[in-house]
Structure formats: C-alpha cells, structure tokens
Chains A and B, each alone.
Chain A
C-alpha cells in the first residue's frame, strides 16, 4: 500500500489514530507524549513516521488525521515532507491533513521562509499551524488542538465532520494567499 487512503479500512471502536510525519524524531515523540496526556474520551493512538510511504507489511488501524511537521531550521525536513506528500491520496486532503511548522521563534536559525510553508499548505488546501514544539507550553497547547481536531476527523464529535472543520478554519485565512 504505497498510497494512504482515508477510507481503506473500517474504523476501530472508539479509536482515533493520528499519524505524525517529520524528520525531527525527538520533537515528534515529545508532541506525541503531550497529546497522550490529554483527557480524551476516544482511544488515542499516535503513529510516528520519518517519511512516507509507510512500510507495507504492517497491520495498522485506520488513520484519521495526518500532520506533516516541518522544521523551519532544516531544508531537509521540508524536502522530506514534500516527497512524502506524493504518497497521500487526494481524498485525505478534505480536512484530514494538517501542516505544522516549528522553529519560527528562532528567526536567525530559520533557513525556510514562512511563505514557503504557507504556500505549501495553501496548495494542499490544508490548515497550517505555527508552533515551537521545543517550548513546553506551546507544545501542550498544540497537543490539545490536535486532539480536538483528531476527534472530529475520527467522527467522534456529533454534528461536525472533518470537512466542516476545514471550512470553518479556512474563513480566517490570510486573504493575500487567495491569489498565490
């Protein structure tokens, strides 16, 4: 299975699974820990991957949300995400994909411009979050947001679907980018 599809499998009972894709293993691990600390009625699972495609001979639950983590300090991490995006089916981008850019706080270490990730997220019609994952407070807040988002994407919040959420978030986007 070299391309991830959202409806390839039946959902598990009360299960919500998020896939974090990024090269910064330590940061992903910390974010995963922060998410699992949250109180949540659903059974959470966090999958961490360096890149896509995922190994094919593995039993894994249905993935409800993919978050691509780009470290603004590393061109390598952006390149890795760009290549991984090819392995995700288009239907995933209806609210089940997000981008997270970390490292914006240390401007002098950034080798990727903000606009590059903004443009990337816009191309894929998906929300973009800026969060310095190295800072514990920011990371905890981001973890909370991701857990709520995951619950919606897994269909555990009655009346709100992933696509609803996407449209809600889109309306507050920067109007500049509509032309890009």
Chain B
C-alpha cells in the first residue's frame, strides 16, 4: 500500500475533533466494530491516529477509501457551532463583566447573535443591542451597527478568535437589506429567478417603456436605443439587482479643469470632496439611467462595479 495514502489518512484523522471521532469512523464503516473496540480512544491524538492507520493497513485501505473518509469529514459538520458559541460568549464575558449574549439558529450553518452591552459597573443596555449574522462555513459575518459603537472592536475580536481566524477585515459594503448583502457577498445576485423568455427579440423587451406601438409614432434613434439597451443588459444582466440604499465616494484628488488657470487648478493639495448617491433601490435606479435618457451608456465603471467588487463606500485618490 502506498505510503502517501497512509499519510493522507493520518492527517485527515488528526483534523477530526475527538468529540466527533466515533461518529466519523462509524459513518466511514471501513474498520469493523471489533477493530474499533481494540483502539484506546483516550490516548493522545497523535498515537491514536497511528493505531487507526495500522488497522487501515491491515484491511488494505485504498485511495478511494481514504477519499471517502475525507468526504465524510466534510459532511459531518466539523466546524462545531457549539464550540464557536461558547468561545464567543466567554471572550465577551471576560472582557466586559456585564454583557448579554443570545444565540438563535438560523438557516443551515448560520446563527443570529444578539449582544447587549454593559460596562464593568453598569448592567447591559437592552435597548441598544448589536446583532450579528454568522455563517460558519464561510469567512463572512454581517454586523448591524449598534448605537454603542465603542464596543465594535471587541465584537470583531471575539468573532475572529471564536471562529479561529487570524484577523477580521471590514468590508466597505453597507445596506439595510441583509438578503442583498448576502447576495452580493456570496455572489448569488446574478441568478435569474423569474421565468424569462430570453428568445424574445430585443425590440419587445424595453425597460420601462410602454410597448404601445402606434404606427403614427416613429422612433428616429432606434439603433441608438437598441445599443443602449444592449449595453445596459450586458452590464447589469436580466436579473433583479440586490438592494442597496447608498453609494458614497470620498474623493481626494487634485482639481482638474478644462479651462487654463483658475485658483483651484493651482492647488497642490488634493481637493477633498464627498459624493453620495442615495435611492430606495440604488442599483435598479442606476440600471434605468441610460434607458431613460438621463445618462450615457455605458455608465462609469465606478458605479457599475458595486456588486462585483462588493463595495459601496469608495475612497478615490490620484494614482
């Protein structure tokens, strides 16, 4: 038997937490009941793994069997949500004596966490909690900005440690709609859920226009209109956009002007300026700009990159 297979099995077994060991081995069903009974599961993991590998060699384990073991490890949830919860709670309670932490299981591999913050000397304020939605199988968590913002660094630290990561990075992506944030972050927004007959010719699919083809009305710029429709569809797709309310651009760039001279053009330091777009549904609004004749197509990539980059807060500096 190949030594590489033995090594692979040993490493796979070492990854399994002791609490799950029996479950996994039974599900694998490669070692018999008798064989498992001969193993001392109270040993140190290193030597336990070696014993198990020896038994596997006796049974003539193949690469296929090893691969099967790997799949079973993935299948049985090894991320151990319970461990995360207790670790998270402990970290917060050690830092702040007064804090209320509550968990609620959401969908598959996701939990809601509610945290009410207090201080060393005051009871937690139940009216200004922070909420977190954590997806254990992904490196993402969604945090609602609590009004007691000074606790956010502690919250981030607790999340990082409890989920066994090295650091946490704040994405420049904010919205009131959790589903939209999920769609953008997990790249699920470009799925078309409506039954859409994409065989209909372009002329019949006009965004936002009344398809009332009175023959006494003639559209002179049909070619241009079709081009705009096509470009818009290429950029935004046929699907409905995730819902965001803002896009903010912080500019720190030197002033550029077509006219020569002028006071602002002579400034050496960059001009600081904030541009904010707001809308009940920003991406749908941007999608309808060119077809409505309000802007040229294609739109600036600064606007169209929002879902693909997963950002709606930008800092722009001169290169």
Secondary structure type dominating chain B contacts: loop
Output the residue of A24, A32, A58 with the most chain B CB within 10 A: A32
The answer to whether A45 touches B223, judged by C-beta atoms less than 8 angstroms apart, is no
The answer to whether B221 touches A49, judged by C-beta atoms less than 8 angstroms apart, is yes
The answer to whether B212 touches A33, judged by C-beta atoms less than 8 angstroms apart, is yes
CB neighbours (8 Å) of A22 from chain B are 293
Decide if B217 is an interface residue (CB 8 Å cutoff): yes
Decide if A94 is an interface residue (CB 8 Å cutoff): no
- The distance in angstroms between the C-alpha atoms of A50 and B218, with both chains bound, is 12
- Which of chain A's residues 1-53 have a Cβ closer than 8 Å to chain B? 19, 22-26, 29-30, 32-33, 36, 44-51
Interface band, chain A: 20 to 34
Decide if B219 is an interface residue (CB 8 Å cutoff): yes
List the 8 shortest-distance A-B pairs measured between CB atoms, nearest first. A23-B293, A49-B220, A50-B221, A47-B218, A32-B217, A25-B293, A46-B217, A54-B220
CB neighbours (8 Å) of B219 from chain A are 47-49
Tell me whether A55 and B223 are in contact in the complex, defined as CB-CB below 8 angstroms, given that A24-B293, A25-B293, A29-B209 are known contacts.
Answer: yes
Secondary structure type dominating chain A contacts: mixed
The answer to whether A48 touches B218, judged by C-beta atoms less than 8 angstroms apart, is yes
> Chain B interface (Cβ within 8 Å of chain A)?
208-210, 212, 214, 216-221, 223-225, 291-295
Beta-carbon nearest neighbor of A53 in chain B: B220
CB neighbours (8 Å) of A60 from chain B are 218, 220
The answer to whether B214 touches A50, judged by C-beta atoms less than 8 angstroms apart, is no
CB neighbours (8 Å) of A24 from chain B are 292-294
Beta-carbon nearest neighbor of A58 in chain B: B220
> Chain A interface (Cβ within 8 Å of chain B)?
19, 22-26, 29-30, 32-33, 36, 44-51, 54-55, 58, 60, 74, 76-77
CB neighbours (8 Å) of B220 from chain A are 19, 47-50, 54-55, 58, 60
Beta-carbon nearest neighbor of A61 in chain B: B218
CB neighbours (8 Å) of A54 from chain B are 220
User: Closest CB of chain A to B295's CB: distance in Å?
Assistant: 7
- Can you name 6 A-B pairs with beta carbons within 8 Å? A25-B293, A26-B209, A26-B292, A45-B216, A45-B217, A50-B225
CB neighbours (8 Å) of A44 from chain B are 216
CB neighbours (8 Å) of A55 from chain B are 220-221, 223
- The distance in angstroms between the C-alpha atoms of A48 and B210, with both chains bound, is 14
CB neighbours (8 Å) of B212 from chain A are 29, 33
The answer to whether A77 touches B216, judged by C-beta atoms less than 8 angstroms apart, is no
CB neighbours (8 Å) of B214 from chain A are 32-33, 36
CB neighbours (8 Å) of B209 from chain A are 25-26, 29
CB neighbours (8 Å) of A33 from chain B are 210, 212, 214, 217
Tell me whether A36 and B216 are in contact in the complex, defined as CB-CB below 8 angstroms, given that A50-B221, A50-B225, A55-B223 are known contacts.
Answer: yes
The answer to whether B294 touches A50, judged by C-beta atoms less than 8 angstroms apart, is no
Tell me whether A46 and B218 are in contact in the complex, defined as CB-CB below 8 angstroms, given that A29-B209, A29-B210 are known contacts.
Answer: yes
- The distance in angstroms between the C-alpha atoms of A77 and B289, with both chains bound, is 13
CB neighbours (8 Å) of A29 from chain B are 209-210, 212, 217
Tell me whether A51 and B221 are in contact in the complex, defined as CB-CB below 8 angstroms, given that A45-B216, A46-B216 are known contacts.
Answer: yes
The answer to whether B216 touches A50, judged by C-beta atoms less than 8 angstroms apart, is no
CB neighbours (8 Å) of B225 from chain A are 25, 50
The answer to whether B217 touches A50, judged by C-beta atoms less than 8 angstroms apart, is no
- The distance in angstroms between the C-alpha atoms of A77 and B291, with both chains bound, is 14
User: Closest CB of chain B to A144's CB: distance in Å?
Assistant: 17
The answer to whether B294 touches A76, judged by C-beta atoms less than 8 angstroms apart, is yes
CB neighbours (8 Å) of A50 from chain B are 220-221, 224-225, 293
- The distance in angstroms between the C-alpha atoms of A23 and B228, with both chains bound, is 13
User: Closest CB of chain A to B227's CB: distance in Å?
Assistant: 11
Beta-carbon nearest neighbor of A43 in chain B: B216
User: Closest CB of chain B to A8's CB: distance in Å?
Assistant: 16
- The distance in angstroms between the C-alpha atoms of A19 and B216, with both chains bound, is 12
CB neighbours (8 Å) of B221 from chain A are 48-51, 55
User: Closest CB of chain A to B277's CB: distance in Å?
Assistant: 15
- The distance in angstroms between the C-alpha atoms of A29 and B210, with both chains bound, is 8
The answer to whether B210 touches A23, judged by C-beta atoms less than 8 angstroms apart, is no
The answer to whether A77 touches B217, judged by C-beta atoms less than 8 angstroms apart, is no
User: Closest CB of chain B to A96's CB: distance in Å?
Assistant: 17
